[in-house]
């Protein structure tokens, strides 16, 4: 892997960290009852989640393209490939790869987004993105 690719991955990781901070601030005090009171804020939360998922996919694609592996046919498999090459633990990859399906809902079925899923992600899944950053940083440190 070249320094350019490592730099690109590090840039993506910084963008993830920045978006996580924004999302945590935006989601403070959000409940099922008030999630759509401020529709602009709600759209920002949706967009922030989409960006985080896109960055996970970008990083996975960058890593995969720097190897001899074939590009996986689906977004979910793209993330799962990181466990096959020992970057993510399998159980973690299985869990975070579900985000790819949510990304598809945000992008393609935007009228059908379930606020309960948004709340679940905000309350219980943002730490998965932090863990992803940690795994990628560890892999970079151990290998480059």
Q: Is 37 helix (H, G, I), strand (E, B) or coil?
A: coil
User: What is the rounded CA–CA span in Å between residue 116 and residue 28?
Assistant: 16
- Among residues 14, 47, 76, 103, which one is catalytic? 103
Let me know if 103 is a catalytic residue: yes
- Among residues 14, 47, 76, 108, which one is catalytic? 108
Let me know if 108 is a catalytic residue: yes
Which residues have C-beta within 8 Å of that of residue 40, sequence separation ≥ 6? none
User: What is the rounded CA–CA span in Å between residue 135 and residue 142?
Assistant: 10
User: What is the rounded CA–CA span in Å between residue 50 and residue 72?
Assistant: 20
User: What is the rounded CA–CA span in Å between residue 66 and residue 113?
Assistant: 34
The catalytic residue positions are 103, 108
């Amino acid at each position: 892997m070249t320094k350019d690719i490592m730099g690109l991955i590090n840039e993506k990781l910084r963008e993830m960290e920045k978006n996580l901070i924004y999302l945590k601030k935006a989601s403070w005090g959000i409940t099922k009852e008030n999630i759509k009171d401020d529709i602009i804020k709600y759209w920002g939360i949706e967009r922030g989640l989409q960006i985080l998922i896109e960055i996970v996919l970008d990083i996975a694609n960058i890593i995969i393209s720097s190897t001899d592996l074939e590009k996986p046919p689906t977004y979910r498999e793209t993330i799962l490939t990181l466990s096959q090459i020992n970057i993510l633990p399998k159980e973690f990859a299985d869990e975070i790869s579900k985000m790819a399906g949510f990304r598809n809902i945000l992008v393609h079925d935007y009228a059908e987004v379930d606020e309960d899923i948004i709340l679940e992600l905000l309350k219980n899944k943002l730490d998965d993105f932090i863990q992803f950053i940690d795994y990628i940083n560890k892999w970079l440190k151990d290998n480059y």
